[in-house]
Amino acid sequence: DAGVIQSPRHEVTEMGQEVTLRCKPISGHDYLFWYRQTMMRGLELLIYFNNNVPIDDSGMPEDRFSAKMPNASFSTLKIQPSEPRDSAVYFCASSTPNRVGGEQYFGPGTRLTVT
Amino acid sequence: LAKTTQPISMDSYEGQEVNITCSHNNIATNDYITWYQQFPSQGPRFIIQGYKTKVTNEVASLFIPADRKSSTLSLPRVSLSDTAVYYCLVGALIYNQGGKLIFGQGTELSVKP
């Protein structure tokens, strides 16, 4: 298996633009997670899905952020409009229920820079 | 909600055993403890998971006391390639019921020759 795939790997955009991050989880994994990582706040769980259904989005910072999972092999995280404080590395991860969500497989991340 | 506390950084030398402790005083009954390793420009990588007592795999051991208010990741005979940030994760997702997962702030381990 290729592991969790994220695209793009790097994104540079201007404030106010829409940004869409993409993720393909490992086949057969029921859970999909979106994280944000910054020096100041560390790793933050933004939202997670179970069987394509959003279960907990309490970590989504504000309404400018939205996430979807239209099928078991694809998810998007969208920021509209983007702001400089959204600059961070965004990780997608997936897991099976066997490890109560603890054994997650992370993608390589998308480094977002908003100028 | 289980809040976790880890040392910000640790130094070690090659060949030594390294123990990194995570405090999670209000861990819930259903919560598990999981440790991850992260190298620069990569996503975190699963190391080990446990619920209580001791768990060992080919790369590490995890010690959890009876009260489960802390856990210790033990790395035997570290090498330079073990230089990384180590995170503890506390929580559990119950299938079709939800749950919470909380990452600690991470411990930056530096292994010197």
Torsion angles phi and psi, residue A100, rounded to 5: 45, 35
Torsion angles phi and psi, residue B91, rounded to 5: 145, -175
Tell me if B93 and A43 make a contact (CB, 8 A cut-off).
no
In whole angstroms, what is the distance from residue A93 CA to residue A37 CA? 13
User: Which pLDDT tens digit goes with each residue over A23-78?
Assistant: 999 999 989 999 999 988 889 999 999 999 998 898 898 899 999 999 999 999 99
- The interface residues of chain B toward chain A in range 57-86, judged by CB-CB distance below 8 A, are none
Instruction: Confirm if A101 and B92 have CB atoms less than 8 A apart.
Output: yes
Instruction: Confirm if A70 and A7 have CB atoms less than 8 A apart.
Output: no
Q: What is the DSSP letter of A86?
A: G
Report CA B34 to chain centroid distance, whole Å.
6
pLDDT of residue A2: 80
Residue type, A111: R
pLDDT band, very low/low/confident/very high, at B70 (cuts 50, 70, 90): very high
Dump the DSSP string for B77-92: S--GGG-EEEEEEEEE
Q: Provide mean pLDDT across the span B21-35.
A: 92
Tell me if B87 and A43 make a contact (CB, 8 A cut-off).
yes
Which of B34, B95, B105 minimises the CB distance to A42?
B105
Interface test with B, best of A52, A104, A110 (most B CBs within 10 A): A104
Token pair in block for residue A4:
């969790």
For residue A13, pLDDT beyond 90: yes
CB neighbours of residue B79 within 10 Å: 11
pLDDT of residue A79: 97
Instruction: Confirm if A95 and A105 have CB atoms less than 8 A apart.
Output: yes
B99 beta partners = B93
For residue B86, pLDDT beyond 90: yes
pLDDT of residue B94: 73
- 3-class secondary-structure state, position B67: coil
Query: Would you call A96 exposed, middle or buried from its count of C-beta atoms within 10 A (0-12, 13-18, 19+)?
Result: middle
